[in-house]
């Protein structure tokens, strides 16, 4: 078996707010249906769905690897109009990370790996 892509389906507590959040984060959106959108940034894509189950959303973790954690943090810090929270850049032995909780409670590990 040769895998060529892997996409996740992210839940939304408020579908419209989540769509706006991911666009403000730098992803472009493509319409699929009234209940599903595809988001893309470069070669990376995921689905956003009009579906919410609290236990699932609050246990969902994703890692977004970025080239420049300072630039990513600057973008995240401008997103004050959304129901999100985040922590300052944290140095780890493997790189740097910003923990970002999205509008449905999903946890993003925004990461710059050591070179």
Q: Are 65 and 81 in contact (CB under 8 A)?
A: no
Contact 9, 46 (CB under 8 A): yes
* Average of per-residue pLDDT across 101-107: 97
68 DSSP assignment: -
Tokens standing for residue 45: 């894509």
Percentage of residues in the chain having pLDDT higher than 70: 100
Is pLDDT of 22 > 90? yes
User: 82 and 74 in contact (C-beta within 8 Å)?
Assistant: no
User: pLDDT tens, 70-89?
Assistant: 999 999 999 989 999 999 99
pLDDT at 111 > cutoff 90: yes
Range 9-113 classified under CATH 3.40.190.10? no
24 band by pLDDT with thresholds 50, 70 and 90: very high
CA 18, 51, 110, 91 torsion-angle sign: positive
Name the residue ranges covered by the structural domains of the chain. Answer: 9-113
């Amino acid at each position: 078996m040769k895998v060529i892509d892997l996409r996740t389906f992210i839940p939304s507590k408020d579908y419209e707010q989540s769509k706006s959040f991911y666009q403000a984060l730098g992803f472009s959106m493509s319409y699929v249906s009234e209940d599903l959108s595809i988001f893309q940034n470069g070669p990376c894509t995921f689905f956003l769905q009009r579906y919410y189950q609290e236990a699932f959303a609050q246990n969902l973790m994703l890692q977004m690897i970025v080239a420049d954690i300072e630039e990513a943090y600057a973008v995240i810090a401008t997103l004050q109009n959304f129901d999100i929270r985040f922590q300052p850049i944290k140095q780890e032995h493997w790189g740097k990370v910003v923990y970002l909780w999205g509008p449905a409670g999903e946890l993003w590990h925004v990461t710059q790996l050591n070179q």
